[in-house]
Amino acid sequence: MENQEKLGLLARASSEPEQYFKELDFAVRAVQMACSLCRRVQDSLISKTGNDVQSKDDNSPVTVADWSVQATVSWVLSEAFGSNNVSIVAEEDVQTLSKVDSAGLLKAVVETVNKSLAEAPRFGLKAPELPLGTSEVLEAISRCNSNGGSTGRFWALDPVDGTLGFVRGDQYAIALALIENGEVTLGVLGCPNYPMRKEWLSYHHRYHRIVSKLTPPTSESWDKGCVIYARKGSGKTWMQPLLHINEKLVWPNSARPVRVSSIDNPSLATFCEPVEKANSSHSFTAGLAHSVGLRKQPLRVYSMVKYAAIARGDAEIFMKFARAGYKEKIWDHAAGVVIIQEAGGVVTDAGGRPLDFSKGIYLEGLDRGIIASAGAVLHDKIIRAVDASWDSSAL
């Protein structure tokens, strides 16, 4: 890595223990690079008819970006720490890409990965000496085959969280977390379409895209995007803007700390919930919001951008109550949990217990749902409201 002696994360907190600083540094750089990759693919995807969108067994759309990000992040981490020392739990596998009728998709993934890795020096990372071949890209993707668990160290990656938002030009996130002995030790969320002004979250994404084309690239426009990250126990969550074209990643000047909102009055609070109705109950959260005194319209946002919104103080509450039969996956929550906690917020299940990331790829033992709040006062009110309303919820 270039200027390794000047790692911003180390310089910024040189008086603190250096545990996980190297891991966090590489993770942030890898996610910054993944955000750049996703922006290119999303722009291309939206300008076409959607031919790049495939369907997985669970019918959720998958694009070139999913596999390309997974390959890119896997390659970066393996180069940084050695492939034998890197274990990754991730959403995608190589089965679809390996099919005969996926040759065109595989070719696009290989080209996208190599274009991204060629830019590595911009992000303070070393580029491969030669472009990766098809087998090397497939190997990087298939390396993400860990099943997690309660012992040892592994990374949890969701290459494109909120794929529906991605293909529609709306909100999505790249989520990367490091889990050691069942505990999340660091988390990084890349939010390429997260507007820098809170109020713009409520506008339709097509409006965002029109405005972005009319806004100078140096302004704090909606499409500037950001990466938010935290290390467990540091008491700090940081945010840095995404790089513009030809801009190099420099620390610590581009990063600033963020904190959760100080609002603890439910009538003034904003709550987030998933856009998709397939795996969450909007009716229950609406009734719950009313009973606890939440009067503002819910902020419905794709992906873990909801966690970023709370960490950054743009919203106060995130509630998700899955429909019967749906099991939450660790990569959908790990990075967001530590980011909110280090920003001063609280994340538990609906019974008030910490989320358990030690049981494999699923959040086993989850009590009813997940609640994230800007503070303990709001959190306690939500949990009590859930207890009072649950028997009549039909969930």
> What is the per-residue pLDDT across 32-62, written as a single tens digit (0 to 9) for each?
999 999 998 888 776 664 455 665 655 555 7
- The yes-or-no answer on residue 170 being catalytic is no
> Residue ranges of the alpha helices (H) in the chain?
8-12, 21-46, 64-81, 103-118, 134-142, 163-167, 205-214, 282-292, 305-311, 334-342, 376-389
Residue 12 CA: distances (Å) to CA of 227, 236, 269, 369, 384: 17, 11, 33, 37, 40
Omega cis (within 30) before 252: yes
Q: Are 220 and 271 part of one and the same domain?
A: no
Residues 243 and 229: beta-carbon distance below 8 Å: no
Say how many residues make up the chain. Answer: 395
Q: Are 120 and 239 part of one and the same domain?
A: yes
Q: Are 183 and 41 part of one and the same domain?
A: yes
- How far apart CA 200 and CA 86 sit, in angstroms, is 39
Q: Are 227 and 307 part of one and the same domain?
A: no
Q: Are 295 and 171 part of one and the same domain?
A: no
DSSP string, 184-212: EEEEEEEETT--SSGGGGGS-HHHHHHHH
For 190-202, write each residue's pLDDT tens digit: 999 887 666 666 5
Q: Are 184 and 54 part of one and the same domain?
A: yes
Bridge-based pairing of strands 317-320 and 54-55 is unpaired
Q: Which of 242, 258, 274 is the endpoint of a domain?
A: 258
Report the CATH number that the domain containing residue 144 is assigned in CATH: 3.30.540.10
Q: Greatest CA span in the chain, whole angstroms?
A: 61
Q: Are 241 and 324 part of one and the same domain?
A: no
Q: Which of 258, 275, 310 is the endpoint of a domain?
A: 258
43 marked ligand binding residue:
no
Residues 298 and 289: beta-carbon distance below 8 Å: yes
Q: Are 216 and 316 part of one and the same domain?
A: no
Q: State the DSSP H helix or E strand holding residue 343, giving kind and residue range, or none if neither.
A: none
Tokens 């743009």 found at: 314
161 marked ligand binding residue:
yes
Task: Report the domain count for the chain.
Answer: 2
Rounded to the nearest integer, the mean pLDDT of the chain is: 82
**pLDDT value of position 360:** 93
Q: Are 242 and 383 part of one and the same domain?
A: no
For 322-364, write each residue's pLDDT tens digit: 777 788 999 999 999 999 999 999 999 989 999 999 999 999 8
- The yes-or-no answer on residue 151 being catalytic is no
Bridge-based pairing of strands 299-300 and 226-231 is unpaired
pLDDT band at 208 (very low <50, low <70, confident <90, very high): low
Tokens, residue 337: 């949990």
Which residues lie across from 90 on neighbouring strands?
Answer: 157
Q: Are 86 and 107 part of one and the same domain?
A: yes
45 is in which domain, residue-wise? 4-258
For 109-124, write each residue's pLDDT tens digit: 999 999 999 999 999 9
Catalytic pick among 63, 72, 112, 163: 163
Give the Cβ contact number of residue 376 at 10 Å: 12
Q: Are 113 and 149 part of one and the same domain?
A: yes
264 marked ligand binding residue:
no
Listed ranges 3-17, 57-71, 218-232, 297-311; the one with the highest mean pLDDT = 297-311
pLDDT surpassing 50 at residue 15: no
Return the sign of the alpha-carbon dihedral for residues 271, 155, 105, 246: positive
pLDDT surpassing 60 at residue 3: no
Q: What percent of the chain has pLDDT over 90?
A: 47
Q: Which of 258, 282, 316 is the endpoint of a domain?
A: 258
Residue 81's nearest CA partner among 155, 8, 171 is: 155
Tokens, residue 181: 């002995």
Residue 89 CA: distances (Å) to CA of 52, 105, 111, 351, 374: 25, 23, 24, 27, 28
303 versus 308: the higher-pLDDT residue is: 308
25 marked ligand binding residue:
no
Catalytic pick among 66, 170, 223, 314: 66
Residue 172's nearest CA partner among 287, 270, 77, 46 is: 46
Q: Is 27 helix (H, G, I), strand (E, B) or coil?
A: helix
Tokens, residue 253: 């000047």
Q: Are 146 and 183 part of one and the same domain?
A: yes
Tokens, residue 331: 């990569």
Report the CATH number that the domain containing residue 278 is assigned in CATH: 3.40.190.80
